[in-house]
Chains A and B, each alone.
Chain A
Amino acid sequence: MVAQIIFLVLTLAAIALFTINLRKIIRNIRLGKPADRNDQPQKRLMTMLRVAFGQSKMVVRPIPALLHFFVYIGFVIINIEVLEIMIDGIFGTHRIFNGLGGLYNFLIGSFEILALTVWVSCAIFLIRRNILKMKRFTGVEMTTWPKSDANYILITEILLMSAFLLMNAADAKLQALGASHYVQAGAFPVSQFLMDLLPDSESALIAVERGCWWFHIIGILAFLNYLPYSKHFHILFAFPNTYFSNLEPKGEFTNMASVTNEVKAMLDPSFVPAETEPGKFGAKDVTDLTWVNLMNAYTCTECGRCTSVCPANITGKLLSPRKIMMDTRDRITEVGQNIDKHGADHQDGKSLLDDYISREEIWACTSCNACVQACPVNIDPLQIIIDLRRYAVMEESQAPSSINAMMGNIENNQAPWKYSPADRFNWAEGD
């Protein structure tokens, strides 16, 4: 009975804490400017099913795709087992789904095989990161915390799977001993090989079984509450992020409505602009970005596929699309913390541009969309880069001098080079 109460309190506390943190993140995302992403619901749903559920963009790199698929499918399916753990925990039962008979044995057997593949995949991931030191997991933005974050996640998953398998091994041994409460249930294709590692006495076995059971469930609850602080949030945000992702051609940049009004008024003095809210052009800070950009930032799991295909990054420039997303997340987190501590109107004098992302980074971008194409969850770093450029150019007139010259040429000669408009048709005279 005491165990049941402790279980219930822990579970409710974990869910409550997670809800509070999740709501803070949703509030932070809502600090972004509006963007309409509610059109074409069917196409959006299909995109989500294909890209997030189906992981269609992962297959470009087959090895990590396969390993990630194991972890993903393991995570989703083993969570059915968590349902049983929840019910057992609350009602003090043991293996409540045992009534399913043959199906139960099949399920537990499958969970064990999945647990093993998750274990092995995570171990390979750790090796790739820490021993092989693959280039994709390095870079200026991959400081101590992002590296540790990745390792904590992988180690936790290995520990959780180990606990699950050890628990089953102890259970199987207890079942063989005929211990009361431990009914004959489940199939143990993997954990049967662990049985020899365990003690033979019933009391010691019960201690192992219970210990692993509690470790497993507390581990899951703790992991749930680690998510809001971690890059691992993608396991939840991948779904809304792909649902609300851009469905238009990647080359299409938004036409700013506020600018359209001013340009129309300039070209036609009789034009009466529609009411739009005054604001600055482009983005200086995260709150000038759209909510989609901010959700992108929370979704990023820092895999670095974007950066590894970025032509600027490949050739040694400072720009890294992954850093753009990580900086955006760090900054919006900071803005959120300021609101919590000092109220909604607090200004800390910092901004995304300059305090996080430098001018050198934004001007190195070729707008080639390779980063957007590479992201397995449809994050768009390019939009943020362009919005920062818009601020630099339209609010500050701070562009590299050669860019200013190019724009001057367009204004005066209707071409980016210094040629006379009268010569535009001269090409017809050649050959």
Chain B
Amino acid sequence: MAELMAAGEEPEILFWVGCAGSYDERAQKITRDICKILHHVGIKYAVLGTEESCTGDPAKRAGNEFLFQMQAMTNIEILNAYNIKKIVTGCPHCFNTIKNEYPGLGGTYEVIHHTQLIQDLINEGKLKAEGGESFKGKKITFHDPCYLGRANGVYEAPRKALEVLDAQLVEMKRCKSNGLCCGAGGAQMFKEPEKGNKDINVERIDEALQTNPQVIAAGCPFCMTMLSDGVKLKDKEQEVKVLDIAEITARANGL
């Protein structure tokens, strides 16, 4: 972003990578695929790079409002300094926080999740599913991230991205507004679960596997970790792939 600014240019959209997308090895791949898609359709975008920092979401859900607002105000200052208008995020938690909780602290932007960007590009005819891996006829089930679905009512965008693949979409019993959490939200990602009789991601994977999918599609780096761990635990890594909507889109377009 700093480079664009120095060149006196403004991006059409800022890609907010997020901590997982920046540091987590698995999520980094998704980050790169989102960049490939942006590049493929010729959108002028920028990232903050080392100027980006945590949105404060896990701190806020854990009850640390101080830390959240410190993070939020620091980020807002940078975003406003760069005169950012539109943001696409690679993570539903960043999406929710910037979209809903930043305006009250002085940061108002048009915020979309990367599945919404993909949906828009498909609707505008700029993005298809051609020239890459064929998902035709493959059984795909989509796991709704809580902070995209229930929290913000976005259910159709990720499904739209899957529909163009001509794949066989199968829904889990608990889907859309009734979707079951992967177990990572509310800062659970960063702690051991409380005592119980099952891990939440295992409960979810059991349900996902009942649909006999070849691909479990995700839209959140935390869900990605939880679902991948679940598939590993069930020893199904060979048969079932857990892929982000961005990865599927990039693959289908040979990016």
| B233 interface residue (CB < 8 Å to A) | no
- Report A-chain residues with C-beta under 8 Å of the C-beta of B204: 311
Instruction: Please indicate which of the listed interface residues B181, B197, B198 has the most CB atoms of chain A within 10 Å of its own CB.
Output: B181
- Report B-chain residues with C-beta under 8 Å of the C-beta of A423: 23
- Report B-chain residues with C-beta under 8 Å of the C-beta of A82: none
Q: How far is the CB of B112 from chain A (nearest CB, A)?
A: 14
Once the chains bind, are A427 and B21 in contact (CB under 8 Å)? yes
Partner of A368, one of B60, B63, B99, B185: B185
| B238 interface residue (CB < 8 Å to A) | no
Q: How many of chain A's residues have a CB under 8 angstroms from any CB in B?
A: 71
Q: A369-B146, A415-B23, A424-B49 are in contact. Are A402 and B190 (CB under 8 A)?
A: yes
Mark the stretch among B5-13, B128-136, B149-157 that contacts chain A. Answer: B149-157
| A263 interface residue (CB < 8 Å to B) | yes
Mark the stretch among B69-77, B116-124, B159-167 that contacts chain A. Answer: B69-77
Q: How far is the CB of A250 from chain B (nearest CB, A)?
A: 5
Once the chains bind, are B105 and A390 in contact (CB under 8 Å)? no
Q: How many of chain B's residues have a CB under 8 angstroms from any CB in A?
A: 71
Which A251-271 residues have C-beta < 8 A from chain B?
251-253, 255-256, 259-260, 262-264, 266-267
Shortest Cβ distance from A264 into B: residue: B73
Q: A314-B203, A366-B186 are in contact. Are A425 and B50 (CB under 8 A)?
A: yes
Cβ contacts A to B, 27 pairs, < 8 Å: A248-B100, A250-B150, A260-B69, A267-B73, A311-B180, A311-B200, A314-B203, A317-B194, A317-B196, A364-B196, A366-B146, A386-B61, A388-B63, A392-B63, A400-B192, A403-B187, A407-B59, A407-B67, A410-B59, A410-B67, A414-B53, A415-B53, A422-B50, A424-B50, A424-B53, A427-B17, A430-B32
Q: How far is the CA of A431 from the CA of B185 in the complex (A)?
A: 29
Once the chains bind, are B196 and A312 in contact (CB under 8 Å)? yes
| A309 interface residue (CB < 8 Å to B) | yes
Q: How far is the CA of A317 from the CA of B124 in the complex (A)?
A: 46
Once the chains bind, are B198 and A316 in contact (CB under 8 Å)? yes
Once the chains bind, are A315 and B151 in contact (CB under 8 Å)? no
Q: A316-B197, A386-B63 are in contact. Are A363 and B177 (CB under 8 A)?
A: no
Q: How far is the CA of A316 from the CA of B194 in the complex (A)?
A: 9
Partner of A390, one of B22, B65, B181, B187: B65
Once the chains bind, are A252 and B54 in contact (CB under 8 Å)? no
| A7 interface residue (CB < 8 Å to B) | no
